[in-house]
Amino acid sequence: MENRKGYADIAAEYRQKINDGDLKPNDPFPTVNELAEAHGVARNTAARAFNLLKTEGLIDTRAGAGTVVATHLPVVSGVDRLDRMARNGRRYGPGEDSTGHRVMVRSCHDPRVCQALDIEPGDEVIVRIRTFRHEGKPTSVGVSVINPRVTGDVPEVTQEAPLPRFWQEIYTERTGREITRGKRTARARQASQDELDALGIHAPEHVAVAVLVTNVTFHDQDGPVEHWEDVYPPTGEIEVPSAG
């Protein structure tokens, strides 16, 4: 039996192209008839894929311009950025950059992070922080907490400047040890003042502001090497991993 594309498959293909930057904001988007012809499917199937992308806010129909890629795109997590880099080598999506890069060596007292990295409270860790922006507007704060045992192989993780490549790639090249990611989880918690400042959130003093935080821990054969937190403002849309 021939395995033909369904509307969800077609939508997923274009969703990835948009998020990867292969299709950029304001780029023309195929019509329903063009989608049907390009993928060899019925017009009804193409229309369902088209409408799904429009409902998700990824494409926009404008008078006189037809349908184009939307200018407001969902915020992606650090894990999604890794997947994008693996596919096309792009560190940033369309209109995205990062600022406020800081590197610190700190004693870790967060029970969640200590458990994730299998360290004792008070042990020193390397913390790398940056704020991601879209069109100049802060969208998330990325916090990488790195197990100090990796500095023997990749001392660059302690440098203040952004690294030219993802440090885990350098680690694997130098040690031969593959790094795998654990399960990504999410929770809500109260934002710190530093996080509010980085995200450009101005709240009255003594008013608690909730933020969404996604977490993932990376491991090599000897144990955890890095714990990530992505911190998002209470407004806006972020992508979550698909089931299955």
User: pLDDT by residue (tens digit) across 15-55?
Assistant: 989 888 889 888 999 999 999 999 999 999 999 999 999 99
Instruction: Please report the pLDDT score of residue 115 as a whole number.
Output: 96
Instruction: Please report the pLDDT score of residue 134 as a whole number.
Output: 85
- Please check the confidence at residue 76 and state whether its pLDDT lies above 80: no
CA dist 50 to 28, 53, 76, 117, 204, Å?
13, 5, 22, 43, 43
- Please check the confidence at residue 242 and state whether its pLDDT lies above 90: no
Of the chain, the percentage scoring pLDDT greater than 90 comes to: 65
Closest CA to 126 of 174, 160, 165, 89: 160
Instruction: Please report the pLDDT score of residue 225 as a whole number.
Output: 97
Report the C-alpha gap between 192 and 203 in whole angstroms.
11
Set out the domains of the chain in order of their start, with CATH numbers: 7-69 (1.10.10.10), 78-232 (3.40.1410.10)
Instruction: Please report the pLDDT score of residue 236 as a whole number.
Output: 60
Instruction: Please report the pLDDT score of residue 64 as a whole number.
Output: 81
Phi, psi of 16 (to 5 degrees): -65, -40
212, 185 Cβ separation under 8 angstroms: no
Q: How confident is the model at residue 240 (pLDDT cuts 50, 70, 90)?
A: low
CA dist 187 to 3, 93, 106, Å?
39, 25, 24
Instruction: Please report the pLDDT score of residue 244 as a whole number.
Output: 38
Strand partners, 62: 66
Q: List b or e across 192-217, with b for residues whose CB sees 16 or more CB atoms inside 10 angstroms.
A: eeebbebbebeeeeeeebebbbbbbb
Report the C-alpha gap between 102 and 87 in whole angstroms.
27
Considering just the CA atoms, what is the radius of gyration of the chain in Å? 21
Instruction: Please report the pLDDT score of residue 205 as a whole number.
Output: 79
Instruction: Please report the pLDDT score of residue 72 as a whole number.
Output: 66
